[in-house]
Structure 1
Amino acid sequence: MDAVVIGSINVDLVVGVDAMPGPGETVLGQSARYQVGGKGANQAIAAARQGARVRMVGAVGTDAFAGMLTSALREAGVDVAGVTQAKGPSGTALVFLEPGGQNRIVVVPGANAALTPEGVERAVMDLDAPRDMAVVVQNEIPPDAVLASIRAAHRRGFRVVWNAAPPAQVPVGVLGSEDVLVVNEAEASHLAGKPVVDPKAAREVAAQLLALGPGLAVVTLGDKGLVAATRRGTIQVPAWPVEVRDTTAAGDTWIGAFVAAWDGGEDVIQALRYATAASALCVTRAGASDSIPTRAEVEAFLRAHPPSQIFS
């Protein structure tokens, strides 16, 4: 096992709109489709499509979507032994997709709220896995389950990748020097208490986030690339210019690709670049989990495009 992803599994209802409605206003949508989503599921699928051996720990409901969700994970190569079933609806996300690829998302937790500290701790402690395995968590499951996952990972000697999204406070000292904290510009702004709108501001905030405990802090900036901070300094990786069709799952693709590359033995800079290329490919396609590229596709993209310059 290369990675265990502990997080949300959702069914997404994606609605294409020309413009978002105002208060009391009704607008006509251009399209509607159901798809597999949730930060946890997307990240697990992204890592698996890069060739990593991944187990998903999460919950689906007892509704008609449960079978579709677990089947999609299994078909992507994800081990679903850690996926349980909770009475009631599965997690649901309403995704409004505007022209230009920007999205607005409302998440209803559903079965994701059934994950307990005891359950996730048992799932981690029972793993038969090497010490260099990564445990990946996000904030679409209950906060106490997130913290329990991290504590259990540390007891086993596993490294943690925490995608603090949706934004929430990261307690000082929860993460250790072998761990990674990943946020986008909005989440970085929340943690820092000030706007993060460009690479200069991101460099300052990424360095500040190291004070929370991780050995690597990453601030992703969409079409501006990313900034990462380590104890040795900061690294800036520009994004590849691509035609954006849909930004849904771009951040999750980045996380999964980074985990697959980093835990697979590549150095940090190469893993950052690889994940950025995977995310660039993702936004050129419509959809959530179905827009996530494979390792072969990412490698072909990297061969066809000169590597983005790295600024230290």
Structure 2
Amino acid sequence: MKDVPLYPSKLGHKAQNRLESGGGRVDAVVIGSINVDLVVRVREMPGPGATVLAESARHQVGGKGANQAIAAARQGVRVRLIGALGTDAFAPMLKDSLAHAGIDISGVAEVPGPSGTALIFLEPCGQNRIVVIPGANAALSPESVERTLLATEAPRETAVMLQNEIPRDAVMAAIRAAHLRGWRVVWNVAPPSEVPAGVLRRGDVIAMNEVEAAQVTGREVSDERTAAEAAEAAEAMLARGAGLTIVTLGPKGVVATSARGTFHLPAWPVEVRDTTAAGDTWLGAFVAAWDGGEDVHEALRYATAAASLCVSRMGAADSIPARREVEAFLRSRPQGKFV
């Protein structure tokens, strides 16, 4: 496993064109959850039977699907989101926020009942604990996903981003439909679930954090040997069929493995204020910056910079940086490797 220096990003022409595409072009389709997040700041997590007073609470747009769509859109990518909202009071706010972010929400269905909800408990160190209530997300059917995806007009270079906060059969239907169109799949296996061998193709990507990697592969990823053990888990996932496996490690960076080898990209040191949506920011920025070719190093650097900015801010969708902010962050960092 090689450590890759964190030089300022110089993206390839295809990726640069994607970031500047605009117009009616669709460069990424995100299929996933849309939630209203209730974020509660606490000084300490309550134990069994205990009660603690919160410092503050707020509602915001969330859900892994919505966060990843916003992250990609803020890099200048044209994004279509496929998902479901309820008929509750939160639905109009969620819809307006997504549309304001420049996301095509014509693929978002309305189903009777509540929208998805997430309870996020945020500790002073910036770490969070999350409980998700699926709501309308659970009503996303494989038939509607396949129909909407196959009707989407997009070029062959399009990436289809998936997560596991929607029904499993809808995820599988999306993979099949994406392959029919010749699009690459970027599957964020979160919450963790089995990745059957043969479902993915060589051009596809599996992405997880270190906790999810340990649960999916059954391989321990400890604090003492995080990068090395994450690399072992990433290499094990290649046997499932994907061409690229990524394991994000928070402040320790990211490990990526492909047929060309395994490498570790350290993270820039930043003051962590809130880790909510950091993984989604990383993945949305990565998809925006990667052209699907063999050299992924620059896209990994770009995504790591975006996530670094995200964790230094409060909020979920509100903390996701725009392209100009990511580029400024990269320009402000001297060349070299950070550990």
The TM tier, using the shorter chain, reads over 0.9
Q: Distance in 2 between matches of 1:37 and 1:308?
A: 35
Hey, what's the Cα distance between the residues in 1 that align with 2:86 and 2:336? 42
Q: Which amino acid aligns with 1:222?
A: G
% of aligned pairs identical? 68
Taking the aligned partners of 1:162 and 1:183, their CA distance within structure 2 comes to 9
CA contact (8 A) 2:119 2:132 kept: yes
| Contact kept? 1:238, 1:308, Cα under 8 Å | no
- The aligned counterpart of 1:187 is 212
- Cα distance in 2 for partners of 1:154, 1:205 equals 25
C-alpha distance in 1, partners of 2:114/2:291?
34
**What pairs with 1:2-41 in structure 2 (closer than 5 Å)?**
2-41=27-66
- Residue 127 of structure 1 and its aligned partner are, at CA, apart by 1.1
Q: State the shift of 1:307 in Å.
A: 4.8
Give the unaligned 5+ runs of structure 1. none
Aligned to 1:278: 306
Deviation at 1:128, TM superposition (A): 1.0
Q: How far is the alpha carbon of 1:309 from its aligned partner? A: 3.3
Residue 164 (structure 1) aligned with residue 202 (structure 2): no
CA distance in 2, matches of 1:215, 1:41: 25
CA contact (8 A) 1:175 1:212 kept: yes
**In the superposition, relative to structure 1, how do residues 307 and 66 fare at CA in structure 2: closer, same or farther (>3 Å)?**
farther
Superposition TM-score, scaled by structure 1 size? 0.97
Deviates more, 1:261-270 or 1:173-182: 261-270
For the residue of structure 1 that corresponds to 2:70, the secondary structure is helix
Deviation at 1:267, TM superposition (A): 3.8
The question of 1:249 aligning with 2:277 is answered: yes
Q: Does 1:260 align with 2:288?
A: yes
Matched, 1:196 2:208: no
Alignment counterpart, residue 122 of structure 1, candidates 144, 147, 150: 147
TM-superposed CA distance for 1:211, in Å, is 0.4
- Cα distance 1:307–1:163, how it changes in 2: closer, same or farther (>3 A)? farther
Normalised by the size of structure 2, how large is the TM-score? 0.90
Aligned to 1:42: 67
The answer to whether residue 84 in structure 2 is matched with residue 56 in structure 1 is: no
Q: Are residues 266 and 213 of structure 1, via their aligned partners in 2, closer, same or farther at CA, if it must alter by over 3 Å?
A: closer
**2:202 matched to 1:177?**
yes
In structure 1, distance between residues paired with 2:37 and 2:327:
28
- Once residues 265 and 73 of structure 1 are traced to their aligned partners in structure 2, the CA distance between those partners, rounded to angstroms, is 29
Contact in 1 for aligned 2:203/2:292 (Cα 8 Å)? no
- Residues 36-115 of structure 1 mapped to structure 2, 5 A cutoff: 36-115=61-140
Deviation sequence 1:256-289 (CA, Å, 0-9, x none): 0001001487941100110010000000001000
Instruction: Give the RMSD, CA atoms, in angstroms.
Output: 1.4
State the Cα deviation string for residues 25-72 of structure 1 (Å, max 9, x = none).
111000000000000000000000001000000011000000100111
Distance 1:169 1:253 in 2: 23
**Deviation string, structure 1 residues 228-261 (Cα, Å, up to 9, x no partner):** 0010101211000000000000000001000100
Count of paired positions: 311
